[in-house]
């Protein structure tokens, strides 16, 4: 565990500034006093993939020139189908990089290019689908050689137990998934990704607990008709930060992956630049944290938008314009010396409406992050951080919590404290039961990773 102290106070962490700023791509600077739009896009189905990416990239770069967007990051998230064809992957990455470089030379654009490799493993197969793992690493190498500046993944180690547990509100299973099984997988995965990135002189950007914390956020829903408590989704988010931090402990250096809402914790602890998404990602999913998450971003993303025709143009170029104006406002606040004022308004507009926004607010993040860096191992910090989150939520009178939420939190705190008394023993005993109940759960393969 490589981080033992916190890089920021709640007063000094703010959008556009990172203690470990980065320069990459066609001379793009991130975290050095500027918020950069990061546009993420998806090709239309049943279309020629190469031509789709040619069209998307061309439209985005033209739109950037038309709007006066000098600083930009593009992100390609590879799909399962694309991962089956290495030649295709190489071609589409090389194509986009060539177009980026052409526009950069002609118009002076500063552009970074992130490629996110899909986690295609079937964890039910022996050795967690070693063949697919090897293919993933081959594709990381391939995209690095063909123009990617930043490597990322939304990894899913432990997801089979998490899915079983989250719908049952089973805290032991959730802790075991995020704090134990995912730990083994993240260490193996990111040791390899960091090695590839260093050999290819590209950036190991970071992971996302999208498959875990964003799933919980989605299930919790809005202010009414919740399938699970918002307080449960909130502690899952906090626990996911402990998991995603492992990528940086293994040598990742950002910019962190956009759909990792836990990135505010990672920036607080590591000082590395982070991409984040909120209101501008409503095209992909709804949330109650659309403003608060922007308060500390270094890149600002839209999540995923399909290349469909809208009145204002195709989806990606429309959302680039939205990101352009979001970041333009943040950058003008920086230029005017009003960034802390805008940051505070972003936080206050969301903070008390939902526990999920509360645990993403920098003052709360700071107190929980102190617990994370003080613990002796990954499992202990996962449980301890969740307990701390509950304690902070429980005493905040302004926080919008129903009686049902408060009852759940009381129960959850008791359960987590019970686990924390001897976490390794509790988890090992629980796994003996889960392996017979959870489809595809193969504990031995995690331990031998």
Q: Which pLDDT value is given to residue 400?
A: 84
DSSP state of 412: H
Give the per-residue pLDDT at 46.
84
Q: 0.95 exceeded by the pTM?
A: yes
H or E element: which one contains 83? helix 80-83
Distance (Å, whole) CA 116 – CA 185: 17
Buried b (16+ CB within 10 A) or exposed e, 391-426: ebbeeeeebbbeeebeebbeebbebbeebbeebeeb
What b/e string do you get for 116-151 counting C-beta neighbours within 10 Å, with b at 16 or more? bbbbbbebeeeebbeebbebbbebbbbbbebbbbbb
CA-to-CA separations, 142 to 147, 151, 154, in angstroms, rounded: 9, 11, 18
CB of 165 closer than 8 Å to CB of 224: no
Torsion of CA 44, 49, 54, 55, to 10 degrees: -20
Query: Which sequence spans correspond to the domains of the chain?
Result: 17-447
CA separation for the pair 10, 13 (Å, rounded): 6
Which residues lie across from 24 on neighbouring strands? Answer: 28
Tens of pLDDT along 287-344?
A: 999 999 999 999 999 999 999 999 999 999 999 999 999 999 999 999 999 999 999 9
Q: Please state, in angstroms and rounded to a whole number, the distance separating the CA atoms of residues 240 and 412.
A: 17
Q: Using DSSP, how many helices (H) and how many strands (E) does the chain show?
A: 18, 12
Q: Return averaged pLDDT per consecutive 10 residues of the chain, 449 residues in all.
A: 92 98 98 98 93 98 98 97 96 98 98 98 93 98 98 98 98 98 98 98 98 97 91 98 98 97 98 97 93 98 96 97 98 98 98 97 98 97 98 95 95 98 96 93 89
Tell me the CA distances in angstroms from 355 to 122, 234, 341, 413, one per residue in order.
Answer: 33, 6, 23, 15
């Amino acid at each position: 565990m490589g981080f033992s102290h916190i890089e920021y106070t709640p007063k000094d962490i703010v959008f556009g500034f990172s203690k470990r700023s980065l320069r990459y791509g066609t001379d793009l600077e991130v975290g050095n006093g500027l918020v950069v739009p990061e546009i993420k896009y998806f090709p239309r189905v049943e279309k020629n993939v190469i031509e789709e990416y040619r069209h998307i990239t061309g439209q985005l770069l033209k739109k950037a020139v038309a709007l006066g967007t000098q600083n930009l990051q593009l992100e390609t998230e590879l799909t399962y189908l694309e991962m089956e064809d290495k030649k295709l992957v190489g071609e589409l990455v090389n194509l986009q990089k060539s177009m980026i470089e052409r526009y950069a030379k002609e118009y002076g654009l500063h552009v970074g290019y992130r490629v996110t490799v899909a986690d295609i493993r079937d964890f039910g197969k022996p050795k967690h689908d070693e063949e697919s793992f090897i293919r993933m690493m081959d594709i990381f190498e391939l995209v690095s050689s063909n123009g990617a500046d930043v490597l990322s993944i939304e990894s899913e180690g432990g997801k089979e137990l998490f899915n079983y547990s989250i719908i049952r509100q089973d805290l032991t299973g959730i802790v075991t998934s995020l704090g134990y099984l995912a730990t083994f997988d993240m260490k193996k995965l990111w040791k390899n990704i960091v090695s590839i990135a260093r050999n290819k002189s590209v950036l190991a950007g970071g992971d996302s607990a999208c498959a875990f914390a964003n799933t919980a956020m989605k299930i919790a829903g809005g202010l009414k008709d919740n399938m699970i408590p918002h307080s449960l989704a909130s502690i899952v988010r906090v626990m996911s930060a402990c998991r995603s931090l492992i990528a940086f402990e293994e040598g990742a250096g950002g910019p962190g992956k956009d759909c990792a809402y836990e990135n505010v914790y990672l920036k607080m602890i590591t000082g590395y630049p982070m991409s984040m998404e909120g209101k501008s990602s409503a095209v992909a999913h709804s949330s109650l944290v659309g403003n608060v998450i922007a308060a500390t971003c270094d890149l600002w993303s839209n999540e995923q938008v399909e290349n469909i025709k809208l009145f204002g143009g195709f989806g990606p170029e429309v959302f680039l314009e939205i990101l352009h104006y979001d970041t333009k406002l943040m950058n003008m606040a920086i230029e005017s010396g009003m960034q802390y004022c805008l940051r505070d308004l972003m936080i206050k507009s969301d903070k008390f409406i939902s526990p999920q926004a509360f645990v993403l607010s920098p003052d709360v993040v700071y107190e929980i992050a102190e617990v994370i860096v003080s613990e002796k191992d990954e499992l202990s910090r996962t449980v301890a951080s969740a307990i701390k989150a509950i304690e902070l939520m429980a005493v905040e009178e302004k926080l919008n919590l129903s009686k049902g939420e408060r009852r759940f939190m009381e129960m959850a705190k008791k359960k987590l404290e019970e686990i924390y008394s001897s976490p390794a023993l509790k988890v090992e005993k629980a796994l003996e039961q889960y392996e017979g109940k959870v489809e595809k759960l193969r504990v031995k393969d995690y331990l031998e990773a």
